[in-house]
Structure 1
Amino acid sequence: MVLLAAVGMVFVASAAFYEQAETYIDDDARIEQLVDVLSTDLRVMETTPLPQRPAMAELLSESTLALIWRPVGMRHEATTPSLRRLRDEMVEFDAAFGKADLRIYALPGTASSVRGVLTLADGSEIDFVAREVVGHRHVKSGLASTAVATAAVAVIAAMLIRAVSLPLRALAQVADSIGTEGEWVALEARGPREVRGLASAINSMQQRIQHLINDRTELLAAVSHDLRTPLARLRLRAGFLTDAEAQMMIESDVDEMETMVNGVLAYLAGELDPDPPRSMDLAATLLTLLDSWADRGKTTRYDGPDRCPIFARPPITKRIFANLIDNACTYGGDAHVTVTRGRDRVVVTVDDSGPGIPESERERVLTPFYRMDAARARSTSGMGLGLAIVRREVERAKGTLRLDRAPEGGLRVEVVLPVGETREAVPAALPG
C-alpha cells in the first residue's frame, strides 16, 4: 500500500502540475513544422499581387493547413481564448511572425486544432486553420503509464506480501496451537531470515514444552501411585484402632488428604484426559449430581428441559458441574441449577444462597490454590482448585465462565458451552 500510494501520488501530482502549467500541451515537432510552412506561405503571399492572393491562398492550402486571404477592412474577430504560449513559441522560432502580428486562438469543437491570423504589410490578413497541432497526448500517455506502473507495483507487492505472509500465518497457527490438544508438528523454517529464526525458536520452545509435559506426566503417575497406596494403608490400619474418637479423627484426616490429592491430580492431569468428545445428555448429568446432594440432606432444584443433548467429553463435563454443585451445596447450603438450550449453545447457571463472593475477588478465586477465608473456613477440605479446574475445562471446551450475584444474594456461576454436533444421547453417555 505504501508503494502504491507513493507511485500514485507522484504521478497524480505531476499530472496536476503539468495541467496547471499549460492547458494545452504543445507538440514541438508539429509546431516547428507549422512555423516552417507558414513562414514560406507568408513570404509567397507578400510577393503575390492582390488579385491573385485568394487563388494563391487556396493553392497553398493542404489537408493539415487551410489558408484564407482577407483584404483590408475584413478583419477577423476571434471569439475563442487566445493561446499566448503557443503564439510566443512560434514567434521564438521565426521573428517574422512577431512583425506580422501573429494571433493564435483555440478552434471550437476540437482540442488539437488552432486558428490563427497573420497581418501582411499592406494591412490584409491571412486567416489559417492548423489541424493536429496541440493536444493532451502527453497527459493521456502519462495516465496510461501511471496505470501500467500501478498495476505492476500491485502485482509485485501482492507476490511479496504473499511470500512473507505465508510463513507468518504458519507461525501464528503454531503459536496458537501451543498448549492445546493434538499432536504438534514442527514448523518448516522458510521465508525471510527473521521469520526462519523465529520458526526455529518456536520449534525449540515447543520441544522444551513437550519435554516438560512428558516429565510431569511421569511425575503424576508416580504421585498417583505413591500417595494413594499409603493413604489406603493408613485407612486400613485406622480400622483396627479401639479408640473410636481417634479412629474418627484419623479417617477424617485421610479423607481430607485424599480430597487434596484428588484435586491436585485432577488439576494437573486435566489436559491429559484421553476421553474423546461424544454425545451426552447434560440434563441427566446435572440431575444425577443434584440427587446425590439431595440424598445428603441438601436442598437442590433443577429448572430446564428433561433432555439436553450436547457433544462434549462426559467425564470433563461432569467434573465441571460436579465442582460447581459441590461448592454451592458446601459453601452456599443449597444449589439451584437452570438450563437454557439455544440453537448452538447451552447456558447453565448454578445459584446458591450463601455469602457469595465480592466482585473484587471474583477473578482471584478462579486462580489455582486461592481460598477465601471469610466464605470458606479453613476447617473445610480442598485446596482452592475447584473453580480453577472449572475455568480451565470450560475454556478448553470453547465456552465461557462468569461469576455474578444470585437473586437470593449468594453466588451465581454461569457456564456457556457450545452444543456441537449433537445427536440423541445414548445410554453410554449418561454419567454413573
Structure 2
Amino acid sequence: MIQKLFGSMTARIFLILATGTVLCGLLVMFVTSYERRALDDQIRIRHTVERLEQLMLLLDSSPASAQPAIASVAAHYGVRITFRPTEKLTDPVSDSSMTKAIRDAFSATRPVTVVQSEGPDCSFAPPPHGFLMVDTKSCERLQTVLKDGTPVLMDVSHRRRPPPPLGGDFALNLFLFLGGLCLLAWWAAHMATKPIRKLASAARALSNNIENPPLPAVKTPHEVRDAVTAFNNMQSSIRQHIEDRTHMLAAIAHDLQTPLTRLRLRFEKVQDEALRGQLIEDLGNTQAMIQEGLEFARISSTDSPRVKTDLNSMVESVCNDAIDAGFEVHFEGRVNKALNATPHALRRCLCNVLDNALKYGRYATVRLYEREHMACIDVEDGGEGIPERDMEAVFQPFKRMENSRSRNTGGTGLGLTTAKIIIERHGGAIALKNLRVGRDGPVVGLRVTLSIPL
C-alpha cells in the first residue's frame, strides 16, 4: 500500500519537500530552544545575584534582632539563611556559571566562598510559583560575613523554566505549523508535476485520436519544453505515417475498382452457371475485404466527435436489422442514462460483434444492463466458443480461428479488432468468455461483453 501511495512523482516530491521542511523546522526549533535556554540561564543568574546582593545589604543594615525575621521571609523566595554556621565550606576545584557570577559580585567587598551542592542540603526549596520550577536536587551555597562580623551561610535554590506543555496553544500552534508546511509542500509538488501530467494526458489522448492539436511548449521548464517538443514531433510523424498509409490503401482500392469491374463483366459471360457463381462470389469477397481494410484504416487513424447517444435505441435497432435479415436474435434490458459516444463507430462495433455471433453461433442473445457506472452489452451465441489460449489473439488484425476459415463464413479477421479499437476509444473494454454446462462441462457458446462508461 505504501508503494502504491508513493508510486507517483507528485507523492514522492511531496514526501521529499515535507520531510526536508519538517526536519529544517525541527532543527530551527531546537536551535531556538537552545538559545532561549542559554538566555534564560543568563537572566536567571543575573536575577539571583541581584537578589543576593539586595539581601546582603538588607542584613547589613538591619539590627541583629531583625535578622531572623528577614531570613524567614527570604526562605519563601528560595534562599535559606543560617547564622553562625558550624560547617566550613571549601573552594571548589571548578566553577559553574552561577558560582562564578556570585563570587565575582561579592569578592570585592567581603570574603566569600561559593560552591555548588547536591543532596539533602538542597531539599529546602519552597513550592514553585509563577512560571518557574524549583530544582530540589541541587543548589548554590554561599558562605560570607556581615559587616558586624557575623558569619552567614546562604543556600540558594535553582529555578528554571519548565518545558513547553504538549496541550493547549502549543499543540495547536505545532499542528498549524506542520499542516502549513505539508500544504505548501503538496502545492509545490503538484505544480512541479503539472507539466508531466499534461504530457501524460496528451499521450492518452493521442492513443484515441491522432488528430489532437499539439501541446503548447510555452511557460514550461526547459526540460519539459524539450519533452513536449519531442512529443509533438513524434505525433506529427505518426500522423504523417498514418496519412500516407491511408492514402496508399485508398489509392490501391481506387485502382483496383476498374480491373475488378472488368473481371465481374467477364465473369458474367462464363457459360458454366456454377463456375460463374463461384467466381462472382470470390470477387465479391475480394471487394468486401478491400472495403473492410479501408474502413479499419480509417477507424484506426481518426476519431469522430462525440454526442449524447441513446444506447437503448441503438442496440434495439441493430437487433431488429438482424431479425429482418432472417437471423434469430433475442434482445432484453435497458440502461437509464445516455452515453457520450460516436454513434456511427459504436454501431459499427456492435454490428461486428453481433455478426460474429450469428456467423459462428447460429443465433444470438443480446442483454443490455448497468453495472458500476458502466453500460454493459452481453452478446451470447450458441457456437463452439474460442480456446482459452486464443482469447487475446482474436483481437489481432487479420487473425481468424481455424474453424472459421470456410467459404460460408468468410471474413477478414478485422471484426473484433475494429470493435476493440472503438470500445477502448470510448474508455471501455471488451471481454470474451466461453459458456459451459456447469463449471467444467462442455462449451455451449461464447459471451462477448462490451463495457462503456456512462
TM-score interval for Structure 1 and Structure 2 normalised by the shorter chain: 0.7 to 0.9
Residue ranges of structure 1 left out of the alignment (5+ in a row):
74-86, 420-432
For residues 416 and 279 of structure 1, do their structure 2 counterparts lie closer, same or farther at Cα, with a shift above 3 Å needed?
Answer: same
What amino acid does structure 2 have at the position aligned with 1:108?
Answer: P
1:139 offset after TM fit, Å? 10
Q: Distance in 2 between matches of 1:336 and 1:358?
A: 21
What amino acid does structure 2 have at the position aligned with 1:112?
Answer: L
Pick which of 350-359 and 93-102 moved more. 93-102
Partner of 2:114, secondary structure, is: helix
Counterpart of 1:112 in structure 2 is 132
Partner of 1:409, secondary structure, is: strand
For residues 285 and 145 of structure 1, do their structure 2 counterparts lie closer, same or farther at Cα, with a shift above 3 Å needed?
Answer: closer
Matched, 1:27 2:41: yes
Residues 7, 150 of structure 1: 8 Å contact kept: no
Matched, 1:288 2:317: no
The one of 240, 255, 275 aligned to 1:211: 240
Q: Distance in 1 between matches of 2:219 and 2:231?
A: 13
What amino acid does structure 2 have at the position aligned with 1:135?
Answer: R
| 1:94-120 Cα deviation digits (max 9, x unpaired) | 453536978484742444265977666
Partner of 1:179, secondary structure, is: helix
Counterpart of 2:349 in structure 1 is 320
The one of 89, 92, 112 aligned to 2:100: 92
Pick which of 169-178 and 42-51 moved more. 42-51
The one of 241, 255, 260 aligned to 2:270: 241
Q: Distance in 2 between matches of 1:105 and 1:208?
A: 87
Identical-residue share of aligned pairs (%)? 24
For residues 204 and 111 of structure 1, do their structure 2 counterparts lie closer, same or farther at Cα, with a shift above 3 Å needed?
Answer: same
Matched, 1:255 2:270: no
1:47 offset after TM fit, Å? 8.7
Residue ranges of structure 2 left out of the alignment (5+ in a row):
1-14, 86-94, 104-111, 437-442
Q: Distance in 1 between matches of 2:332 and 2:426?
A: 21
For residues 388 and 283 of structure 1, do their structure 2 counterparts lie closer, same or farther at Cα, with a shift above 3 Å needed?
Answer: closer
The two structures, once aligned, show a CA RMSD in angstroms of 4.5
Residues 356, 409 of structure 1: 8 Å contact kept: yes
Partner of 2:271, secondary structure, is: coil
Partner of 2:207, secondary structure, is: coil
1:306 offset after TM fit, Å? 8.6
Matched, 1:331 2:352: no
1:292 offset after TM fit, Å? 4.3
Q: Distance in 2 between matches of 1:152 and 1:268?
A: 54
Partner of 1:351, secondary structure, is: strand
1:359 offset after TM fit, Å? 1.3
Pick which of 119-128 and 267-276 moved more. 119-128
Q: Distance in 2 between matches of 1:65 and 1:88?
A: 22
Partner of 1:265, secondary structure, is: helix
Higher relative contact order (CA 8 A, sep 6+): 1
> How many residue pairs end up in the alignment?
394
1:58 offset after TM fit, Å? 9.5
For residues 113 and 401 of structure 1, do their structure 2 counterparts lie closer, same or farther at Cα, with a shift above 3 Å needed?
Answer: closer
What amino acid does structure 1 have at the position aligned with 2:323?
Answer: D
What amino acid does structure 2 have at the position aligned with 1:212?
Answer: H
Residues 353, 410 of structure 1: 8 Å contact kept: yes
Q: Distance in 1 between matches of 2:261 and 2:333?
A: 41
Residues 369, 385 of structure 1: 8 Å contact kept: yes
Q: Distance in 1 between matches of 2:72 and 2:417?
A: 104
| 1:181-206 Cα deviation digits (max 9, x unpaired) | 36313322443322121111111111
1:23-422 mapped onto 2 (5 Å cutoff): 26-35=40-49, 37-39=51-53, 41-42=55-56, 45=59, 50-54=64-68, 88-95=96-103, 96=112, 98=114, 103=122, 105=125, 107-112=127-132, 114=134, 134-136=160-162, 157=185, 160-181=188-209, 183-270=212-299, 271-272=301-302, 274=304, 277-280=307-310, 281-293=313-325, 295=326, 298=327, 300-305=328-333, 310-311=338-339, 312-340=341-369, 345-373=374-402, 375-379=403-407, 380-407=409-436, 409-419=444-454
1:38 offset after TM fit, Å? 1.6
What amino acid does structure 2 have at the position aligned with 1:167?
Answer: P
| 1:292-326 Cα deviation digits (max 9, x unpaired) | 45x2xx5x131315999854434323322222222
Residues 276, 313 of structure 1: 8 Å contact kept: yes
Counterpart of 1:82 in structure 2 is none
Partner of 1:27, secondary structure, is: helix
